[in-house]
Amino acid sequence: MRQRRLFDCLINLPTGILAASCLVFALGLVLVLSLRTNDGRLIAASFTLENYRSAATDALFGFILAKSFLIAAFVSLATVALAYPVAYYIAFHAGEHRAVWLILVTLPFWTSYLLRIFAWKIILGYNGIMNSAFVSLGVPGAPFETLLYNPTAMVMTLAHAYAAFAILPIYVSLSAIEPRLLEAAMDLGARPSTVFGCVVLPLSLPGVGAAVALVFIPTLGDYATPVLVGGPSSTMIGNLIQAQFSKADNWPLGAAMATLTMVTLCALYGGGRLGARLWQWRQA
């Protein structure tokens, strides 16, 4: 057993060192860049905290950051709410067709992310599929101009784009539940709703938490979907940071904004973990 653990550590060591080195280098580069003055030189001669002060006191940055967290939270909740029934069906009712369902779940990832966004533009556009269906059905006011370029369209697009990131961890968590636990609960007279609420759901919460994290984090930094589907009213923090790097040509300020966003995200994640542990401690 000890030799097997040593072998696993050695075989994963090169990949771990490479991944950690790239991560540390990238984060260190952003941190150093955020402390530089915007003098246009490759090697900085001086460092300053002015970028952080400018970002922290910028009302626009604070507003867009808060809105980005709110939109990411809505996307995470919508994605998990849609993914849980699918994962539940695959884990407990798909039977020998599990592999087929898992392939269908990951099938959208066989195409480009941008192609999926443009597909939603075709669906929600003024002359798109939904408006054409509404016109054919005689819905009053159709075609509608409000289906696209709004936060709702962006939430729908992102929920579809990251559906597999939510389905797979929830499925793994559900498939790890021992069937004997469910049988024991039913033998004791528990109703199906009670079995789900008292056995299945609590045991699947680690998968739900992983799904929320896997959806929330990339959604928070997304900048392509707000531009292509969300419109001006759906600008997120990724768009603001991207604008500092490209249009404003102020890389230090953009790096400072990115660093503050990561710090805020880590603080919220740490607070959530602490709250979950306190809740578990009270339940025990």
pLDDT at residue 268 tops 90: no
Nearest 5°: the CA angle 284, 266, 226 is 120
What is the arithmetic mean of pLDDT over 71-84? 93
pLDDT at residue 213 tops 60: yes
pLDDT at 1: 62
pLDDT, tens only, 45-71:
678 889 999 999 999 999 999 999 999
237-253: burial string, b at 16+ Cβ within 10 Å, e else: bbbbbbebbeeeebbbb
Q: In whole angstroms, give the CA distance from residue 125 to residue 157.
A: 13
pLDDT at residue 42 tops 60: no
CA 240, distance to chain mean position in Å, is 18
pLDDT at residue 101 tops 80: yes
Q: In whole angstroms, give the CA distance from residue 162 to residue 82.
A: 11
pLDDT at 57: 92
What is the arithmetic mean of pLDDT over 135-142? 85
pLDDT at 47: 81
DSSP assignment of 204-238, as one string? Answer: HHHHHHHHHHHHHHHHHT--HHIIIII-GGG--HH
Collapsing DSSP states into helix, strand and coil, what is residue 257? helix
pLDDT at residue 123 tops 80: yes
Homologous superfamily assigned to 58-249: MetI-like (1.10.3720.10)
Domain ranges of the chain: 58-249
